[in-house]
């Protein structure tokens, strides 16, 4: 198909007219490389294309369709008509090929062809050194000639490049590279690089790394490496810690250290003892290239002549290298033994004693002792070699026995050397003689033992050499006993458990030794108490019958003494029955057998009873028993059964009424009132009652009969049935204000008190009276003082707790007449000419209501003009009735008054309704608060007359204090008598004003009352007094006069304020122009006390409780802000005053926020002393005490001296006396303390003779002050050459107060200070002034404003004198 399309396109190309342009390549395809999986585009564009353009891959045409069907990942991308780019997505290795962009010939244009090769690059796999894992170690022998390693990199395209590195250095020698396809016909390549390494020993610990990459990896290399490890054997081990021939002793601690040096890897070092491996825990030291194994052990005698060998080996050694040592161990004999003399012998006989010591090294020497003397041996000591290189020693002596040798002790000592312990042995010799006669203790002929109770007898014999050997016998049977010796007395204790067979048995004790031939004996005869092992029980006759005598017999087995027999019935141990003992007879083991008889009169209770015979030996309180179960024949006997059966009617149950008898075949018969009854079914001891009826209640008897006799069981059946209502009143009518009674009769079993009761949900039952008669089973409820709201259903409930209660509803209808609803919306009706208008009349009452309509006294009927529709009661409780009069096609003649009359049995009422034309709606009224939440308010209102048109309502509400009024339109039920609405989205805890507007097409009206309500302050709701209605005056009735008066008064007040401001400004200007001085002079006069100053700056000694400062604050606020802060007097000059008066001028350096300038003081000769002006500003009168609301927050007071010039150091030097100030701001101390110095306790004084200044401390009292003024400063003072700072000039009447540490001037008028001026070392005894930064930071009663940063800070000031003087205006 593709070829056909290409041929057609070629034919069409022949008919394309030839133009002046010839097709040619605008862009030829270029060779490209792409990594597998990425997208690649081959660009090709032909200018003036005339023929068909397509791509080929490896000589195969891809087709002319740009989507290239059949090549899902190939597509043609053409952004311009000349472009024909080939896009290959998710390239694969199969895309690696030649691609040709071809344009076919057409219109005389030659064909175009351009090739490009696309190389698809594939990253290779991780390189691998064949035979070795990455990072592994290759172990090599130094004897190897060479090592060949091959690095292979698989499945890359193109083939990977491989490089070898040794210890980080590139290796190019002895390296061969090759590559080949991974598989035949596959373009993936496998590359190999082979490296040959010679001189293996030189490459120990070398790291050979193979790196590989191809073009797909870019500059990223993959690598793998191995480490070469050349092996070498270790050196011969060396042993230290013991030298050959060295003597060591048993128990010594020996440390043998074996060291082997060299070798790769470092060798294993092991210890062997006599060719047995004992320690392999060696350590290596890579720094010194050695291996160590230290073996520490405690020397044993077995180590004598032991060979300790050390072996060192590694993987390069052909055989282990060894070193060894042989130990020489001294060890003493562990023991010495004496043979002979162990048995007694007769006098005159000889005894040979031989002493032999155990192994020792060196040989042990044996010495004999007796009675404290050395005994000479028969011959020299004999030495015999033994194991471990030791020797045994043996020596003998011969002794002739005599009486003196009896109990003589012979001792031999064996010692190997003078440092070794001595091995000792001894033997005591004795002479034979017979023992004393034995005696038996623990039992006598008058005693007895008890069977199975442990008994003990002891046989004693005194004297004899050797002491006697005691043995026990029962008859001729030997017994096992325990013997012990104490001195020359021997005892033998026999313990045993007596059995009945031991009764009258003979026990014998024999004493023997080697000095006698016949044993000496002692004998006892046992008396054993034992109980009978069993009893035999029988009866006569063999088949007992109830009421006939029965004899039971019991015979016991042998017992010593004779047994006592009692009888027990059914394991009742509390009741033992004594029978008749019929005598005893002899029995085995020397005991007696006892027989007892018990006679009983059996009854049914004895059937299957077991009678036990108990035979007891009273002396040992031990007994045995056995029983006999007897079967008694008896007539039926009823088991305890139910006597009263209570069932619910129609209930079915089965009851157990079983009789027992022997024989067990029983016949049951049911009787009621003496007559056989079939009401219930007796079935093998079960009474089956099915669907019981109330008539089946009564007294019954059940008879049980067998071959022996009969028995009866009497019971009563009671049938319960639920309470039911048998008598009832369904509906009761009564008039309003009267009383009504309703009765309810019930029946049921059981009959309970108040089986019937009355209720009504939501009704106040306290206004009712309920009476219940148990005899008549009748309940009556009476409702007093009936209200119209009492109509409803009362429920009679019958309940006797048998089944769920039964209920019936009685309807109470209260007859009343409430009249017609004369609300405003029904008092009018309106319509346009030709409209159909409906007049609505609503009345309330019961029973049914009748309506009539009339106009001008004429009753109206339904006809073509009028239509009357009245509702009727759908239930007996309907109380609201509606009658509607429809007037069709109204005209002017139909306008007027229509009368609605409503009546029922209780009364009647009439209502006049006015029919007019259409108008604006009447205003809503009776607005009522319903509820509020944190974000909503619910209220209600009644709509007025709608004006004869459809009306809607709008809500306007406004939050108190806000000017925003929100208006919303709402949809309501237009037929509702009262409308309820909720405004949502309000703010929490705010009061809102709410208005309701009624709107129709002719206009709108407001509600009669303006309604205010408040949202809740929590997540709950408010239903209380959260609303405040207020009477609204309509917009037409607004008191314009009031508004006008308020406006006039406001304008007058504004004019008065403007006039006052103008007056004070003018007055101030006049004062300034009259004085004719600069702002400085004005400030001086303002602060100076004078007649014209009604409110002086310094009030005269205000009291401590003086708290009013408004008057002074106003004058202080009027001060100019033009004062400069003079910090240092640079030079003195003379200038001319503005009034042509020559004055002394002091050029000063001011802060960076003002320009440098001059201040002139009028000379004294001019009549106005500049010094005095300065004094008025900076020196307060004697009565000065600035006001402060809080003494602790006020500035510090101190004396003041102002520095002026060299000739006059201070402007107040000419004063006769210095002022004394009371310091009221001291935190500690007593009020009234005179303190002429500044707060730091010192003042600056000028020494004119020495041209220097010193600090003088504060006087302690007035006397001290006077003494200081009369004497020169001769004591040690703090001198300084820098003069004190000049007095500051006020720059602002407001600002942060400063700390006046080290200042000699009193507080000055307040101003703005730079941050650098704040002193850090202020005296803590004084608190900062009100409003200061320090007061805010230190006063715990002041909460700072986080948004206030203080007065604006000015540029930093240089050369600030630390003792700068500051002032503060309060």
The answer to whether 494 touches 472, Cβ cutoff 8 Å, is yes
Distance CA 31, CA 822 (A): 103
Residue scoring higher pLDDT (1225 or 215): 215
pLDDT tens string 133-150? 999 988 888 778 889 999
Give the model's pLDDT for residue 294.
94
> Among positive and negative, which fits the CA dihedral 943, 945, 951, 954?
negative
Considering only CA atoms, give the Rg of the chain: 70
Distance CA 925, CA 944 (A): 7
pLDDT at 563 over 60: yes
Distance CA 1089, CA 1177 (A): 10
The answer to whether 391 touches 385, Cβ cutoff 8 Å, is yes
Give the model's pLDDT for residue 407.
82
Both tokens assigned to 1275: 């004591």
pLDDT at 1154 over 70: no
pLDDT at 224 over 90: yes
Phi, psi of 599 (to 5 degrees): -105, 130
pLDDT at 1352 over 60: no
Residue scoring higher pLDDT (970 or 1036): 970
E strand or H helix at 1321: none
Place of tokens 């070798």: 263
Phi, psi of 624 (to 5 degrees): -140, 160
Residue scoring higher pLDDT (1210 or 744): 744
Ranges 380-389, 808-817, 876-885: which has the least confidence: 380-389
How many secondary structure helices (H) and strands (E) does the chain include? 8, 95
**For residue 1265, how far is the Cα from the chain centroid?**
74
Residue scoring higher pLDDT (246 or 1184): 246
Model confidence at 222, in pLDDT bands (50, 70, 90)? Answer: very high
Phi, psi of 826 (to 5 degrees): -100, -10
The DSSP bridge pattern shows strands 439-441 and 455-462 to be antiparallel
pLDDT tens string 586-618? 999 989 999 999 999 888 888 889 999 999 999
Give the model's pLDDT for residue 1029.
55
Ranges 60-74, 774-788, 1131-1145: which has the least confidence: 1131-1145
pLDDT at 310 over 80: yes
Residue scoring higher pLDDT (370 or 1336): 370
Residue scoring higher pLDDT (1365 or 932): 932
Phi, psi of 1050 (to 5 degrees): -65, -40
Model confidence at 1256, in pLDDT bands (50, 70, 90)? Answer: very low
DSSP 1047: H
Query: Looking at residues 1050-1076, what average pLDDT do you find?
Result: 85
Backbone dihedral region for residue 1262 (phi beyond 0: left; psi -120 to 50: alpha; all else: beta)? alpha
DSSP string, 41-74: EE--EEET--S-EEEEETTEEEESSTT-TT-TTE
Both tokens assigned to 1010: 């303006």
Ranges 153-167, 575-589, 652-666, 1107-1121: which has the least confidence: 1107-1121
pLDDT at 477 over 50: yes
Model confidence at 1139, in pLDDT bands (50, 70, 90)? Answer: very low
Model confidence at 1026, in pLDDT bands (50, 70, 90)? Answer: low
Distance CA 450, CA 704 (A): 58
Q: How many residues does the chain have?
A: 1370
Model confidence at 283, in pLDDT bands (50, 70, 90)? Answer: very high
pLDDT at 704 over 50: yes
Phi, psi of 951 (to 5 degrees): -120, 155
Give the model's pLDDT for residue 1023.
59
The answer to whether 222 touches 126, Cβ cutoff 8 Å, is yes
Percent of the chain with pLDDT over 70: 75
Query: Looking at residues 402-418, what average pLDDT do you find?
Result: 84
H-only helix segments in 1021-1169: 1040-1075, 1079-1087, 1110-1117
Give the model's pLDDT for residue 1146.
40
Model confidence at 186, in pLDDT bands (50, 70, 90)? Answer: confident
pLDDT tens string 543-555? 888 888 999 999 9
Ranges 550-554, 634-638, 783-787, 1168-1172: which has the least confidence: 1168-1172
Distance CA 299, CA 306 (A): 11
Query: Looking at residues 296-311, what average pLDDT do you find?
Result: 92
- The three-point CA angle 378-382-388 to 5° equals 155
Helix (H, G, I), strand (E, B) or coil at 834: coil
Give the model's pLDDT for residue 379.
81
pLDDT at 1181 over 80: no
Max mean pLDDT among 505-514, 1041-1050, 1108-1117, 1131-1140 falls in 505-514
pLDDT at 296 over 60: yes
Output b/e per residue, 1017-1031; b: 16+ Cβ within 10 A: eeeeebeeebbebee
Distance CA 702, CA 671 (A): 6
Give the model's pLDDT for residue 845.
93
Model confidence at 1095, in pLDDT bands (50, 70, 90)? Answer: very low
The DSSP bridge pattern shows strands 837-846 and 880-887 to be antiparallel
Ranges 913-917, 955-959, 1225-1229: which has the least confidence: 1225-1229
The DSSP bridge pattern shows strands 1278-1280 and 53-57 to be unpaired
Give the model's pLDDT for residue 1068.
86
Q: How many Cβ atoms sit within 10 Å of the Cβ of residue 603?
A: 13
pLDDT at 787 over 70: yes
Give the model's pLDDT for residue 1028.
57
Query: Looking at residues 391-396, what average pLDDT do you find?
Result: 92
pLDDT at 1248 over 70: no
- Per residue, the 3-state secondary structure of 1235-1277, as one string, reads CCCCCCCEEEEEECCCCEEEEEECCCCHHHHHHHHCCCCCCCC
Model confidence at 1019, in pLDDT bands (50, 70, 90)? Answer: low
The answer to whether 588 touches 556, Cβ cutoff 8 Å, is no
The answer to whether 624 touches 698, Cβ cutoff 8 Å, is no
> Among positive and negative, which fits the CA dihedral 708, 713, 714, 716?
negative
Give the model's pLDDT for residue 20.
57
- The mean predicted confidence, pLDDT, of the chain is 78
Residue 1147: name the closest of 1139, 1156, 1158, 1136 by CA: 1158
Ranges 170-184, 731-745, 1228-1242: which has the least confidence: 1228-1242
pLDDT tens string 99-132? 999 998 988 888 999 999 999 999 999 999 999 9
pLDDT tens string 432-451? 878 889 999 999 888 999 99
Give the model's pLDDT for residue 1074.
61
Give the model's pLDDT for residue 1360.
41
The answer to whether 725 touches 746, Cβ cutoff 8 Å, is yes
pLDDT at 513 over 60: yes
Query: Looking at residues 655-684, what average pLDDT do you find?
Result: 88
Give the model's pLDDT for residue 1090.
42
Residue scoring higher pLDDT (1145 or 265): 265
Contacts with 863 (C-beta within 8 Å, 6 or more apart), sequence order: none
Residue scoring higher pLDDT (516 or 586): 586
């Amino acid at each position: 198909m593709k070829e056909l399309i290409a041929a057609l396109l070629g034919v069409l190309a022949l008919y394309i007219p030839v133009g002046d342009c010839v097709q040619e390549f605008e862009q030829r395809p270029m060779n490209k490389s792409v990594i597998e999986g990425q997208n690649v585009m081959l660009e090709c564009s032909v200018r003036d294309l005339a023929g068909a353009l397509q791509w080929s891959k490896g000589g195969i045409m891809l087709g002319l369709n740009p989507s290239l069907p059949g090549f899902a990942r190939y597509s043609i991308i053409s952004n311009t008509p000349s472009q024909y780019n080939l896009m290959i997505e998710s390239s694969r290795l199969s895309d690696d090929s030649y691609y040709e962009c071809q344009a076919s010939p057409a219109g005389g244009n030659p064909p175009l062809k351009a090739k490009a090769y696309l190389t698809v690059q594939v990253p290779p796999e991780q390189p691998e050194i064949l035979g070795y894992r990455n990072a592994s170690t290759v172990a090599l022998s130094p004897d190897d000639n060479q090592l060949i390693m091959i690095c292979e990199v698989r499945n890359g395209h193109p083939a990977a490049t491989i490089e070898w590195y040794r210890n980080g250095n590139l290796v190019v020698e002895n390296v061969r590279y090759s590559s080949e396809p991974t598989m035949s016909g596959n373009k993936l390549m496998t590359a190999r690089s082979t490296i040959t390494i010679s001189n293996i020993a030189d490459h120990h610990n070398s790291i050979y790394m193979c790196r590989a990459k191809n073009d797909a990896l870019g500059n990223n290399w993959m690598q793998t490496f191995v480490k070469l490890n050349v092996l070498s054997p270790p050196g011969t081990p060396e042993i230290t810690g013991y030298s050959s021939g060295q003597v060591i002793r048993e128990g010594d601690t020996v440390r043998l250290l074996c060291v082997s040096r060299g070798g790769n890897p470092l060798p294993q070092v092991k210890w062997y003892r006599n060719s047995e491996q004992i320690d392999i825990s060696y350590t290596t030291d890579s720094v010194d290239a050695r291996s160590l194994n230290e073996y520490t052990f405690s020397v044993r005698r077995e180590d004598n002549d032991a060979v300790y060998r050390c072996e060192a080996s590694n993987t390069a050694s052909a055989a282990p290298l060894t070193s060894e040592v042989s130990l020489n161990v001294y060890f003493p004999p562990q023991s010495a033994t004496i043979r002979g003399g162990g048995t007694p012998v007769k006098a005159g006989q000889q005894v040979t004693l031989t002493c032999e010591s155990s192994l020792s090294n060196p040989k042990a020497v044996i010495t004999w002792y007796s009675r404290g003397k050395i005994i000479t041996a028969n011959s020299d000591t004999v030495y015999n070699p033994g194991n471990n290189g030791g020797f045994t020693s043996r020596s003998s002596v011969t002794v002739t026995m005599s009486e003196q040798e009896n109990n003589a002790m012979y001792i031999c000592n064996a010692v190997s050397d003078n440092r070794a312990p001595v091995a000792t042995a001894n033997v005591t010799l004795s002479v034979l003689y017979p023992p004393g006669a034995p005696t038996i203790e623990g039992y006598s002929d008058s005693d007895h033992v008890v069977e199975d109770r442990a008994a003990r007898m002891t046989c004693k014999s005194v004297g004899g050499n050797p002491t006697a050997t005691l043995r026990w016998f029962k008859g001729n049977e030997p017994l096992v006993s325990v013997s012990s010796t104490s001195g020359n007395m021997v005892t033998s204790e026999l313990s045993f458990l007596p059995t009945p067979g031991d009764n009258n048995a003979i026990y014998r004790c024999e004493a023997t030794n080697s000095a006698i031939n016949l044993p000496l004996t002692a004998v006892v005869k046992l008396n054993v108490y034992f109980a009978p092992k069993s009893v035999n029980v029988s009866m006569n006759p063999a088949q007992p019958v109830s009421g006939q005598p029965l004899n039971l017999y019991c015979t016991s087995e042998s017992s010593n003494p004779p047994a006592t027999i009692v009888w027990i019935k059914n394991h009742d141990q509390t009741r033992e029955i004594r029978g008749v003992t019929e005598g005893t007879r002899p029995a085995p083991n020397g005991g007696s057998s006892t027989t007892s008889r018990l006679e009983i009169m059996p009854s049914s209770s004895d059937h299957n009873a077991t009678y036990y015979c108990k035979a007891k030996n009273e002396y040992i309180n031990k007994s045995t028993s056995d029983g006999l179960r007897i079967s008694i024949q008896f007539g039926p006997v009823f088991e305890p059964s139910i006597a009263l059966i209570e069932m619910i009617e129609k209930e079915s149950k089965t009851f157990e009424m079983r009789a027992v008898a022997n024989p067990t075949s029983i016949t049951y018969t049911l009787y009621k009132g003496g007559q056989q009854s079939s009401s219930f079914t007796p079935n093998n001891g079960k009474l089956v009652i099915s669907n019981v009826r109330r008539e089946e209640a009564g007294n019954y008897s059940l008879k049980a009969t067998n071959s022996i006799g009969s028995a009866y069981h009497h019971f009563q059946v009671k049938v319960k049935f639920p309470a039911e209502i048998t008598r009832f009143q369904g509906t009761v009518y009564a008039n309003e204000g009267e009383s009504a009674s309703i009765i309810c009769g019930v029946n049921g079993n059981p009959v309970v008190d108040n089986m019937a009761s009355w209720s009504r949900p939501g009704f106040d039952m306290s206004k009712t009276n309920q009476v219940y008669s148990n005899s008549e089973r009748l309940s009556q409820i009476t409702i007093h003082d009936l209200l119209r709201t009492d109509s409803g259903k009362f429920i009679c409930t019958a309940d006797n707790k048998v089944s769920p209660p039964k209920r019936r509803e009685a309807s109470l209808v209260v007859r009343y007449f409430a009249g017609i609803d004369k609300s405003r919306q029904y008092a009018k009706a309106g319509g346009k000419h030709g409209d159909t208008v409906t007049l609505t009349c609503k009345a309330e009452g019961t029973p049914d209501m009748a309506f009539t309509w009339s106009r001008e006294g004429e009753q109206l009927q339904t006809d073509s003009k009028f239509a009357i529709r009245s509702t009727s009661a759908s239930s007996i409780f309907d109380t609201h009735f509606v009658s509607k009069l429809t007037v069709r096609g109204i005209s002017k003649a139909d306008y007027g008054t229509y009368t609605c009359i409503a009546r029922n049995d209780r009364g009647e009422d009439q209502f006049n309704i006015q029919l007019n034309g259409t108008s604006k709606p009447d205003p809503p009224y009776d607005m009522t608060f319903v509820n509020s939440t944190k974000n909503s308010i619910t209220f209600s209102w009644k709509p007025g007359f709608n004006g004869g048109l459809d009306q809607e309502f709008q809500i306007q509400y406004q939050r108190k204090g806000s000017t925003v009024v929100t208006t919303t339109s709402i949809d309501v039920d237009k037929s509702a008598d009262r409308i309820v609405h909720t405004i949502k989205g309000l703010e929490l805890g705010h009061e809102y004003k709410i208005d309701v507007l009624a709107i129709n097409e002719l206009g709108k009206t407001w509600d009669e009352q303006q309604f205010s309500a408040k949202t809740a302050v929590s997540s709950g709701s408010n239903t209380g007094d959260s609303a405040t209605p207020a009477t609204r005056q309509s917009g037409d009735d607004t008191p314009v006069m009031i508004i006008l008066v308020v406006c006039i008064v406001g304008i007058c007040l504004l004019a008065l304020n403007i006039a006052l401001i103008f007056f004070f400004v003018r007055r101030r200007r006049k004062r300034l122009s009259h004085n004719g001085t600069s702002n400085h002079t004005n400030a001086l006069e303002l602060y100076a006390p004078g007649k014209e100053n009604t409110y002086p700056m310094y009030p005269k000694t205000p009291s401590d409780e003086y708290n009013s400062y408004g008057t002074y604050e106003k004058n202080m606020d009027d001060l100019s802000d033009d004062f400069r802060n003079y910090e240092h007097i640079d030079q003195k000059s003379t200038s001319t005053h503005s009034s042509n008066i020559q004055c002394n001028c002091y050029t000063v350096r001011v802060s960076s926020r003002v320009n440098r300038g001059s201040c002139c003081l009028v000379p004294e000769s001019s009549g106005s002393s500049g010094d005095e002006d300065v004094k008025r500003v900076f020196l307060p009168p004697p009565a000065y005490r600035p006001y402060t609301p809080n003494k602790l927050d006020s500035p510090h007071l101190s004396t003041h001296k102002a520095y002026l010039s060299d000739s006059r150091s201070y402007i107040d030097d000419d004063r006769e006396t210095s002022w004394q100030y009371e310091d009221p701001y001291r935190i500690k101390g007593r009020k009234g303390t005179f303190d002429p110095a500044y707060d730091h306790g010192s003042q600056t004084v000028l020494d004119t003779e020495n041209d220097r200044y010193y600090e003088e401390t504060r006087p302690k009292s007035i006397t001290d002050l006077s003494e200081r003024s009369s004497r020169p400063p001769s004591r040690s003072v703090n001198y300084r050459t820098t003069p004190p700072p000049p007095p500051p000039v006020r720059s602002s009447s407001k600002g942060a107060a400063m700390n006046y540490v080290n200042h000699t001037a009193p507080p000055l008028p307040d101003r703005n200070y730079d941050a650098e001026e704040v002193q850090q070392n202020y005296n803590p005894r004084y608190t900062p002034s009100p409003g200061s930064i320090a007061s805010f930071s230190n006063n715990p009663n002041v909460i700072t404003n986080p948004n206030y940063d203080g007065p604006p800070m000015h540029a930093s000031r240089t050369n600030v004198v630390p003792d700068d003087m500051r002032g503060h205006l309060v």
